């Protein structure tokens, strides 16, 4: 009898010991599993915080549609007052700014920002021995465009408010040597203008798209990287804006620099995410959307 009681007592001790360790293993497993879930949650939360730190949400006003380097001005889409460049000056009154080019006459005006971009471009051309540039037309106000349209007619001019010259982002560039389609200046610009943010706005083979005859002298500033992408793909501004709307968002590497370009349909209360610590630029398309360009 004593032996049976002793055996039962030993069995109970062993069973209690095994149950205790089994419970401890389950507890450790739950603790470990809970720890992993917590670590994953913390990692996700940290990633979200880092993403929020990298971007800022901004509200975009309706007027932004009509402002920026990519606004489309043509027979269909006219200029809105808020889109006109503000820093227009008469160049003849600033001889210190006429570096590397001449003027056809003293009436020519340009926004200072566009003038600086043009000056940087002709300085690069000068290093290649091309240095007979001439500005034959720059910014025009509505009254000047109306008069030009009355004098030249619809075959050679656009109505007031529908010319890029009314915007302040275009200029007619000539050469003091010969006509632009034969001049070294025209040839140099055809090869290199896109490197400085400019495009030949009305190419010879795209008149059916632009609705404007070939103008080898008319250059439009759209900025980088857009000018390079357009040149590489043979896009007019009309075609490029359609391309952006179709793609919605894409990344591009241009001259070793990486960009992200995104299109947003305009809507009331539109909010978009922009980089917090990188440069970015907004432009409307003058009809229904906003393009955000970020330098990554």
Residues designated catalytic = 215
Count CA atoms within 13 Å of residue 162 on its CB side: 15
Q: How far is Cα 266 from Cα 135, in angstroms, rounded to an integer?
A: 36
Which residues are paired to 163 by β-bridges? none
Considering only CA atoms, which of 135, 132, 163, 167 is closest in space to residue 149? 163
Verify cis geometry, omega within 30 degrees of 0, for the bond prior to 225: yes
Q: How far is Cα 261 from Cα 7, in angstroms, rounded to an integer?
A: 81
Considering only CA atoms, which of 194, 219, 192, 199 is closest in space to residue 135? 219
End-to-end distance of the chain based on CA atoms, in angstroms? Answer: 86
b or e along 216-231 (b: 16 or more beta carbons within 10 Å of the residue's beta carbon)? bbbbbbbbbbbbbbbb
Burial class (CB in 10 A: 0-12, 13-18, 19+), 115: buried
C-alpha distances (whole Å) from 26 to each of 15, 30, 36, 183, 203 are: 17, 6, 15, 86, 76
Token representation of residue 58: 């901004």
């Amino acid at each position: 009898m004593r032996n049976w009681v002793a055996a039962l007592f030993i069995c109970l001790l062993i069973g209690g010991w095994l149950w205790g360790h089994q419970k401890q293993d389950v507890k450790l497993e739950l603790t470990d599993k809970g720890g992993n879930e917590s670590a994953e949650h913390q990692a996700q939360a940290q990633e979200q915080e880092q993403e929020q730190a990298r971007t800022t949400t901004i509200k975009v006003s309706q007027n932004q549609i009509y402002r920026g380097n990519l606004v489309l001005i043509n027979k269909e889409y006219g200029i809105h007052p808020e889109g006109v460049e503000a820093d227009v000056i008469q160049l003849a009154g600033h001889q210190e700014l006429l570096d590397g080019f001449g003027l056809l006459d003293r009436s020519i005006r340009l926004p200072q920002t566009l003038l600086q971009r043009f000056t940087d471009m002709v300085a690069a051309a000068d290093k290649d021995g091309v240095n007979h540039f001439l500005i034959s037309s720059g910014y025009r106000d509505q009254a000047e465009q109306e008069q030009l349209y009355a004098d030249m007619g619809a075959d050679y001019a656009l109505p007031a408010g529908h010319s890029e010259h009314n915007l302040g982002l275009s200029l007619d560039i000539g050469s003091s040597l010969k006509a632009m389609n034969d001049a070294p200046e025209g040839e140099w610009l055809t090869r290199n203008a896109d490197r400085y943010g400019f495009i030949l706005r009305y190419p010879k083979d795209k008149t059916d798209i632009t609705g404007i005859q070939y103008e080898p002298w008319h250059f439009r500033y759209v900025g980088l990287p857009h000018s390079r992408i357009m040149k590489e793909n043979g896009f007019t501004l009309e075609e490029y804006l359609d391309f952006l709307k179709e793609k919605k968002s894409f990344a591009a590497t241009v001259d070793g620099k990486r960009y992200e370009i995104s299109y947003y349909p305009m809507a009331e209360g539109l909010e978009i995410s922009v980089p917090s610590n990188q440069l970015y630029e907004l432009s409307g398309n003058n009809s229904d959307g906003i393009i955000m360009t970020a330098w990554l």
